[in-house]
Amino acid sequence: MLAVDELCDRYNGRLFQDVCRISEKPTDEMIEDIVNIDRGSVWVRWDGKSLHVLRKNDAFQISVTGSAKIRQSFRTKEECEKGIERRKDILNMEGHRLEGICMPDGTFEGKVTYLYRSIIPADIERERRAEMLKDRIKKADRIPELVMRLFPENFGRRSQKLYVII
C-alpha cells in the first residue's frame, strides 16, 4: 500500500494541505500506484481531462472526464447544423458528447465532452482496476485526436496537472 505523500515524493509532486500536485500525464506505472493508495480519493487532471477515483471501504467510485472547446466556421447556419449533426453521430459512437450552438453567421461554438462513471467493488484485484482506469483514460485521451480530425479549425488551451486528494 502506498500513502499519498509517498506517491507525491515518487513523482516529484508538491504536497500542500493533503493535496499532491504532479505536473505530468498519468503513466501506466503511476496508475498502478494510484490504485495502490491505501485510503482517500484521487483526482487526476491533465490536458483538459480529469480522472477522479473515490475510495470507500467497499468500493472505488471512478469518474473519468475530458473536454475540449470547439470553434468551427461554416458558410451558412444551415451548413453548420448539418455538419454538426454528422459530427455528433461520430462522437456518440465513441462515447463522447458534442454540445454547442450554430450562430447566424455559420460559426459553431461548443465543446466535446467524455464522461464515464462507475463503481467498482474493492474486492476486484488491483490489476483489473488499473486496466479499467487505463482503458477509460485512453478514451478520454482520444478527444484531441477526434477534435483535430472533425474540427480542423479548433482552438483550445491545454494544461497538465495531476491532483491526489486524501
CA separation, residue 51 to residues 2, 5, 16, 75, 102 (Å): 18, 19, 20, 38, 30
Dihedral in degrees, nearest 10, Cα atoms 130, 132, 135, 140: -100
Q: What is the chain's pLDDT, residue by residue, as a tens digit (166 residues)?
A: 677 778 888 888 777 766 677 777 778 888 888 777 766 566 666 655 666 666 666 777 777 888 888 889 999 999 999 999 999 999 998 889 999 999 999 999 998 888 888 887 777 777 887 888 888 888 877 787 888 888 887 655 454 555 555 3
User: Which one, of 128, 129, 135, lies nearest residue 114 by Cα?
Assistant: 135
- For the entire predicted model, the pTM comes to 0.64
∠ CA 109-112-116, rounded to 5° = 155
**Residue located via cell numbers 495531476:** 162
